[in-house]
Amino acid sequence: MISVRCYGLLIAILVTPSFFAAQTTPQSAPPTITVSVDATDAQRKIFHAHLTIPATPGSLTLYYPKWIPGEHGPTGPIEELTGLRFTGNGQVLNWRRDLLDGWTFHVDVPQGVSLVEASLDYVSPTGRDGLYTGALSATDKITEIAWNTLILYPAGWTSDELSYETTLRLPTGWKSGTALPIASQSGPEIKFKPASLTTLVDSPVIAGEYMRVVPLAENPRQEMDIAADSAAALDVPADLFDPYKNLTDQAFKLFGARHFRDYHFLYSLSDHVAHFGLEHHESNDSRSGERYLVDPELRLLAAGLLPHEYVHSWNGKYRRPADLTTPNYEDPMKDDLLWVYEGLTSYLGDVLSARSGLRTPEQLRDSVALIAAKLDHTPGRTWRNLQDTADGVPSMQGAPPEWESWRRDLDYYDEDVLNWLWVDTIVRQQTAGKKSIDDFCHLFHGGESGLPEVKTYTFDDVMNALNQVAPYDWAGFWTVRLTNHTAGAPLGGIEGSGWKLVYDETRSELFRDEEHEGDEVNASYSIGLLLKEDGRIVDTIEGMPAAQAGIGPGMKLVAVNGRRFSGDVLRDALRAGKNGSEPLQLLIENTDYFRTFNLNYHGGEKYPHLVRDGSRPDLLTDIIRPR
């Protein structure tokens, strides 16, 4: 999964204690549940579902999915579950929500009732607030159906054991894409083949008025199913998709096997839906802005998104931390191995983005430079180690961007790009260039190609696999990486691969694109100030000039050296003040009061880049070379 930081505030999700209530005695065979979803009101952002659930008299415990795979927390959007009603033999049944777990419902099933009928509505949020599939998922032209938002399931069975027979009705004329096998389709009504609850929840549907299907590979079939808010957003030349064809080929060469029947990149292009990527075994649900295909600047920003989600089919779905492999959606997940699940995925996704041609080598290096610079200016590292950024996800992933450098972000993504690059360079050094991360991927994620399956792992399994590729003190390496409290970013991989992190006065293409798309001005590496184009201060970096002068998040920069603030005015002032003696004067508004702060800063503008270190061999260029 990848969340996109610059798209509005995310709502904090609180962890509630899990509660396992008294359950009806499981029947001898797992039940088959039917669910029919009416999405014809998608444009109103309300979805209707009707389920039939076999039951026995007594108290029937039903769960609304709470811990959503790939979302790493109790993010099931329970507050959007509405219109809940149960009947049996035509009679309305009493129900009550569990007092300790709001995702759990107890239904009174009277004698003589063997089938409970449940109807419910899922109301999709109308704004971008919310996390992942629980955020806005329907526009006038697009919808994404995440089945976990539309179903209930009975206690007493695993999600593998429960079987669902599912139908879906779409708005007339809309097309759709999904990895969920289809039994038949008649106009807007799709009947799916029976599937386990696991497969159902893992197989979302994208649908819309404007859709483009792009075949990428055959045997097995791999395709992009792209829905957009306009026809114009899909009007790009066919060769624009060549890097994605390369991606399927390069990934197979990296892993040596595939673990899906077929694969669908479900890609939504809309300025209204929430922007993120969510992985599945045979598909991914990825969402960017409407013009992300047609606009080269935006295309560069999203270049790593689909490779990351695709890599998850191997790393996250096929190979999965045991702590994240739960039998249902009620048992809590433990996120301690996200530095493998997400961190290695981020590294491999970045490597594949370059090997496939989605990024040039220079663009890939710029991306690594941005990661390294941000982590090198994250003073929160001194109180919070990398392991805690993973452990804390269920309660912390909705944190706001203000104070991010002191709180720390979800750093097990980006920091582990640097750490796994370091691993790659150590493997190469230890084996005199004979082995690389590719050998680890073949060993750990490869095996026989075939149907989706889950092979769990622990910390020791990862260390053992690394040791099989190249004997080394991997447990010691990772223990230090995960538990240290040093202030600086881990740069051993950049340096070991023959490059250096430097700062100069020129913004890279990627740096400017990120500022532009985020409506931000990023002076983090000069005066430690990140702000919006309208002057609102998002973050100040503890220990750097802006924070030292007394400026903090939530204040507003009004004027620089007596002139109204803009990005250009601030950059001009930084440049003019370099090597001078006059302080940088910032007029700041704070809760209706105005004050001028003087920063004794004369270092000029500073933006990160990677440059070659001629004293070492250039391993990075080989790492990202197409296979």
Q: Name the residue with the smallest CB distance to Zn ion.
A: 1
Yes or no: say if 371 and 494 are a contact pair by the CB < 8 Å rule.
Answer: no
Q: Under the criterion CB under 5 A, does residue 551 sit at the interface with Zn ion?
A: no
In 268-413, where does DSSP find H-type helix?
296-301, 305-311, 338-341, 343-355, 361-376, 386-391, 393-396, 404-407
- Least distance to Zn ion, CB of residue 454, Å: 16
Which amino acid is present at 371?
Answer: I
Residue nearer to Zn ion on the CB measure, 1 or 527: 1
State how far the Cα of 420 lies from the Cα of 44, in Å rounded to an integer.
Answer: 45
State the DSSP code for 171: P
Give helix then strand counts, H and E, for the chain. 19, 33
What is the 8-class DSSP label of residue 279?
Answer: E
Specify the 3-state DSSP secondary structure of 154.
Answer: strand
Q: Is 441 in the site for Zn ion (CB under 5 A)?
A: no
Amino acid sitting at position 254: L
Shortest CB 280 distance to Zn ion, Å: 11
Site string for Zn ion, 81-100 (x = CB under 5 A): --------------------
Which range of residues in 107-115, 152-160, 340-348, 490-498 is near Zn ion by CB under 5 A?
340-348
506, exposed or middle or buried, with CB in 10 Å at 0-12, 13-18, 19+? exposed
Instruction: Closer to Zn ion by CB, 118 or 437: give it.
Output: 437
Closest CA to 145 of 11, 215, 45: 45
Instruction: Calculate the alpha carbon distances from 537 to 243, 523, 542, 558, 605 in Å.
Output: 38, 11, 14, 10, 18
> Do 319 and 445 form a contact (C-beta atoms < 8 A)?
yes
Q: How far is the CB of 345 from Zn ion (least distance, A)?
A: 5
Stretch that binds Zn ion, among 6-14, 189-197, 237-245, 336-344 (CB under 5 A): 336-344
For Zn ion, which stretch binds (CB under 5 A), given 74-82, 121-129, 227-235, 341-349?
Answer: 341-349
Residue 18, SS3? coil
Minimum CB distance to Zn ion smaller for 150 or for 251: 251
Residue 339 or 499: the one with the smaller Cβ distance to Zn ion is 339
Binding part of the chain for Zn ion, among 53-61, 191-199, 338-346, 604-612 by CB under 5 A, reads 338-346
The nearer residue to Zn ion, 38 or 282, going by C-beta atoms, is 282
Q: Is 574 in the site for Zn ion (CB under 5 A)?
A: no
Which residue, 71 or 342, has its beta carbon nearer to Zn ion? 342
Q: Is the Cβ–Cβ distance between 221 and 262 less than 8 Å? A: yes
The residue among 1 and 116 lying less far from Zn ion, judged by its C-beta, is 1
Please give the size of the binding site for Zn ion, defined by CB under 5 A.
2
Q: Give CA–CA dist 469/133, Å, rounded.
A: 38
DSSP 384: S
Q: Per CB under 5 A, which region of 78-86, 171-179, 334-342, 358-366 contacts Zn ion?
A: 334-342
Region binding Zn ion by CB under 5 A among candidate stretches 1-9, 83-91, 249-257, 433-441: 1-9
Nearest distance in Å: CB 342, Zn ion: 5
Tell me the residue type at 404: E
Q: Is 1 in the site for Zn ion (CB under 5 A)?
A: yes
Site membership for Zn ion, residue 311 (CB under 5 A): no
We find the least distance from the C-beta atom of residue 203 to Zn ion, in angstroms, to be 18
- Ranges of beta strands (E only) in 130-181 are 142-145, 153-154, 163-169, 175-178
If DSSP codes are grouped into helix, strand and coil, which group holds residue 617? Answer: coil
Cβ 355 to Zn ion, closest distance in Å? 19
Q: Which residues bind Zn ion (CB under 5 A)?
A: 1, 342
